[in-house]
Structure 1
């Protein structure tokens, strides 16, 4: 649609496709519109930017002014920005991998080929057509037609001719059965000749079909059952078969049969067993080994008919297809019509007992095990029989990184090491590196050997990590319970057992001084490597009971010696089957206690590793109560492994009692040494595992730093003292220095880890690491943060009382040695520009502010330990001293400017300039400015804002005030006047019985109301209280009437109808009755039904409650029921009902009621405009929550829900005038009869002259 504007672009994977469609739609939208087509180029360019939308405005942000003025130039600029950088060589490689899909039309296939060639760097024309012709010919299924096209001269082989030849190869929508085929030596009709070999298995003649398109041998389960009568054992497998047409078939297992004889040649063959009805298949490798097929030249015309296509895949990777170019295979002529027989001689093992008998070897030591299995125990890495694939995000651009420098001492060893890896088929040289190229980290082992690890910082961001559950220490501990015999195996270069496919291998290229190489095996350092390897190891050994795998470590556990031997042989056979190699030096064979994952496991349980506790051993004796508390805090951290620790620390804990003087004795030192010995011998320090999350606890004291590396359990401890210069740092800088020290101290543990959790007891550091470096004002903090950029840190807050180890180490640090390296780096350029509208004003005001100058002095030097010696104003800022920094002669709290006192009022006006309210003004201040008590100042400033107060929303409701429940009928009644179709009605309802009277009145005057009430009182009696609105019940006539009859009028606050809710409810009942039928007869019928209907919760009608009898209606009723009787417990039931109503109402009443005194300054709500106006309390009414408020124009009576407090900054009248008015108002007699005096004339007193025309 040309009239509709194109949809805005949205970021995503399909941005390039969106942009292509957008350009097409935009061109039609602009050019085909008569109005827009006449626009100037600049106008069209601006319209193009508008149509692109805000979400993708980054696409044109960097364009020049000239580019933004021309739509064609702007589109070209965005084209270059969206279109990814393409490699023509790689695109041509992808084009050569194109295979025609099943059921794909020839035109669709040609179109797909042409689309792939667009990025191959070929000129349109003959080169493109020739490549498409080659692809079409190579994908032909009809060999005769393919050979015919091969013999066609190049000049006659055009694209149109090739397409015509391929039209006959298009898949038909129907499959027709072949008929009329002459049998070939078979009794079944329609049988075609196929290449097959007859074999003999266990005295059975078995015919195998030669399938050169298959990479494995396939044995149907029914054939295997017939041969061995079900007495065989299948091994689990991850192989997946893909038959011709794309259908996947998962086999039930594999079996290896030795001594398979054919043509006097015996081989051991492995068969994939599947539950299918086909004949057994002999794959291409086996056919070649038996000599059934030979490799010949390209012109070979004879080849076997492809029956199945078999593919091999690993469960977590896409299938890896093994395609065979069958045109290079030929079948030798059959020598004799006699059947060729294959004999399977070796017996099959059916259970573990047979396995033990077949291989009944008992090893006495480790050497005998290694000598018996030299192919398994070797230092060279093995290779799993699977290929693994790495998933790369195609939207992330590949990064190529140059090589790093290598020390001269290591260069020769490095070169020899690379040559050896190439020889071992671990890596290979890349002549034309393309795409991802990562640097490597060269590590030197203690035995002077080297290890090459990828440093794929950028590659890991593009890798899609597989999700596989890693076994936890708790799971391993539970599995090793009550086991007596253990064996530990360690993979030889574990990750290198995993072979990568060709595409994944090209991603793992790395740069060296000797060129670019690529890993053919799974390298160390990839974020996906641990999960891939763990899954591969679990797939191989995970189904064996008693075997646990944790990355490259395997542990076997058994309760008896025989069970262990059977289990060990099973693991060795599985290792031989999958080509697994273990390190001979790391073998711990059949021991009662082994070291595994940093713990010592035995039949009795597990013991912690006692190594790496040098820092704790060097802790000094406590000098005061706080230091002793920190020392005892370590006990709680490691008490799980120390028995009776409380008894050992009891003597020390006596010093913590109140009223006990600190006195350190030699016995205390002995107790500390005893406790430290137990802790160091019991604390479990686990070996660092790069695949597990790492946590570092960091703490800094006045004179030292303490850090602890944790992975569920401690891994390493470290502490050091601060230099004289570092002791003058602010506390926030010392805590940050502890984090930098931990990163550099544990660099070999955490470098390259995807996430390192840092626990600190200094909460401001959490916000510092979350904000951009450019927003940090302190240069020292900026330099320290820059040192941590090489690590992926997640800084979290942990209260200091839980950081026992790091806190103790920071205070009992190891003294710095003179030759210790100082962790300092040079930052060449760090510039932080603070932008102010009037920056010099803040600098001058800060310089003239004595409080800020005092604080800046402490920040630059050091704060006192306590705030006793500080000034009163400085004490207010003492609690946030660790977050204060100085930059550009200005004081900052975190990242907020500390405003001088003389500019604070000006800043308050700026914060509340938009009248956004108290909360949003505080939120704005929390990001920009600070001073002590800023929140209170903002609250006071906003609460005094007249604009905000006048237009404030209505107040929330308060808790309900209950009226007294009457004990007798017609003791308390409620009245109101209902207007229905311009006809007034007087509504009267009894509070006790809910008896309702609706009487039509002529007008709303007091006399009309009094007349009706007199008639009702004559029937029901005179009540004690009448609840009503103000007018006309406050008139002199009504007041005289109440005095004459001896009752009292209680009126509600104006415009607050909730206070007379009973009358309002009665008005609703009457209104519904009149809405049904506006006749007097219908009204009386409705009233009769209302008066005779039982009230909920009372089970009695209004007539029963008022008259103690039921009224007779049109409904049939027995006479006995109409007899009078008094309803019992009415008052208690009414009280219970009122209490329930109060509870339900108060659930949502969140505001507390505010009481006012005479003279209080308030705001009162104008009910006409919903604006709050200033006023003053003149009188407190007798009714609850009701006040007389004097405003600018008049005195109003209002409920407290329409009143809110106000500061005395805009008085309506003076306090003295208010008191005088209240005295006059309160002493005026409420009921004064009118005197017979002449009323003043209220109309104009001018002479009225009638027009002459009216004088008729």
Structure 2
């Protein structure tokens, strides 16, 4: 008999099965159930019956709308009985069928990876289905093969693919994948886990009486011990933990949070609206409500465990006593209570802990078994029996299988400790433990030690509970004169908080941090903040007193410069000062500024308090003095990082730093971390690999909600922008979001903005890493510019590879966007050099650009003419020692991407430009601008400067002279320039030639005058023709008499030593041999002479004379010579 497919759409919402898949299943059912001879009306009725209630409602609505449209158009449905079934299918096709988007389908195909727990067979089938929608045509096999290679998570399979190289076909790849998968499954089945028998007796308290239960875990040898069947005694079926399970092995895939399961029973085979769900009419034993099992109950579980608890932000009681188990362990097995359970498709070992209310997995196991899994942000606080918080980085939910029982279990990922299977999973998976009897005793817990477990024993006194005090240092606050004191009123606290605030005030007073006062000119209000652990932090609003404080000028270190000092570091320790500011004494004269008012009266600080404007700089200066001379240490306020390239170097550096801290009288808290290979410091994760974003910050970005206004968008971009140096394509991603924040733009969350928002999350979730700067490695700076931005990449050459140190980009201002292509590329070079000035100054480096003309224009020895801006930028680049190289645009991918949509830099400084002495007074600047605007040829050239030139063959003849010098052209202040010369419009060319020839110089001299400041195509030819037609020049017989250069008066300079004249006199007949020649120099303004006698008149002698003179008197603005060979 044929089995009908499940109803397509039973309840409102999205169908659980896509329409095309369901339609295919239904058509197969009709063929089997009704046969080919069935009437179309019968097929239609079967279709309507299988649609489900909501599906039938939609069909009825669509049919009515079609009938109304047909009647309104004056037509009737001419369908016969034979086509009513196909007509119904067509109507539903038009409604439910999703239109195919080839670009989007190919994007999904290229990003398809093997899912956690997904078999290779399923992955291959999914790729083939997705490829069928991409219209690959003849490339179908190769595209599926390539994506199979890049998407699989098994490295040994990928290795076999590589061995075949280009001869690998799709069928071969599928065969190899299936063989490897089958081999791995057979090996897992063969390697059964052997669990040693151990015996544990747990002593628990029930109703005030002590009871004893026994625990055992037995070897599995094919014989299962007898089950206890008394349901009255145990309340559920009993399972032995010795079930055959495969040993733990690193999986080939990861798991995802189980969000696609039924919330009633936890099954992944159907959803909650499935009518045959077994939990639909069952009553939960945890909350008493109907409709779900206990394992997926969303109600809060009663925290009745002894050892490990979970508490939310609300107050939760933690027991003060704990039952300690004395376990007789087998020498062959490290843990007597270990079992293997299947999490998703991965077998993982866990410790069974009936005292833990939740299940935990260590970060090490999480990264090993489930690499790449995205965690959800956790809002709960984990505590152990001694009320010490257990740090957790997030949680995930997965389907867990043990024996024949499956249940969803939530695992919290902790940074320390072992992986535990808690009471929630033990109950839901029906795990019971049997065995012989051992004894244990009940003891009371003591206070949790504040000393880190791996702290050096010699310095454990630094972790005492008493507050430290820096020896020989008191902070004296400097005040601004004339600032009137301000006395604030009391901010009344809620009644429930007053007792806690009073207790905290009493504690601070006993520890010497604050003291009572009766009156003060300065009074600030109290601000109460609740910590994560529920305790209170008392803060003071010192905004008014801070206005009267002179802040110390000692600078805080730059975070980037600090992190780049960690070259080669492999071992790290982080020291955290306990109440850092409170360890510094405040002078008596400064204490009144910190007076604050509470419901218990006035208090003031005896120690430096948080919020005092002068505190950060003073504290940083003090720490720099304390740690001065210590190697391998970084200090940013109260965060101290000690590092070393080897463990021995690290330990020596740590000992030196701890000795300094001990001698100073300061104390540390229990947040210190010692001798690790990866550590969190200043918002970064630091390891031997390099720097990466902090996981908690990345999670905050990944889990951030969609911004609803400009303020929330600015907050999101501020957090994401802190890590922009890690993201080579950051500018590409953020541009749509930054465009929404520009002045005059309305806030409109578009599809493009949403894509950009999600792309930022995906890029940061990939955990990018950049290397740490190494002073010994060669530096390579690669730059590029686009029409709207600049981009640069900082790399170092290590062997044959280039390792990335940082990325940088910024947008161009409106004025900069009008620069020519060459000028934008030159500006990118300048931007990169000044951006990383700290690392580049004094070192030789390679500067790469994809604009070949810059290899000449930016070279120090270039003798060619440069555009005005590039000339000015070259002067600023003289500070750097670099070799410029040309890099093809196809090889300059990263810098090019950074420049396309770059990082917005608000208030970027505009370069002030001033053009002086453009032309003779006879033609003004306004005349030139007006003529340029009216010149048709120049107006065609100007857009090409900003947007790029087309191919030469497509240009009209009048533009070819400009194309030949396109790299020298620029458009500044509505004038066209070739290098530093103005390009003259055609309407002014004749007038300029007349002005240049006004004193009737010859052809060469006239050309020289014009070429100094002006340029236009055909200048030489126009000058020659004008002079040959000059009546005055023709009247003069230039061949009959010598031509002397016309005498020209020298204008008198306005300042001394502004313009000098130099000449050589000699040889002198009666002078000594060493004084045969005299180099004479005179100041045109003051007529001050300088004379130097020499026996030679070479350039070296002139240079020696001028060097001594200029070092004494300074440099002039101009020197006039007779153009002798010594002066060239």
Whether TM exceeds 0.5 here: the answer is no
What TM-score comes out, normalization by structure 1 length?
0.24
Larger Rg computed on CA atoms: 1
Higher RCO structure, 1 or 2 (CA under 8 Å, sep 6+):
2
TM (norm. structure 2) is 0.26
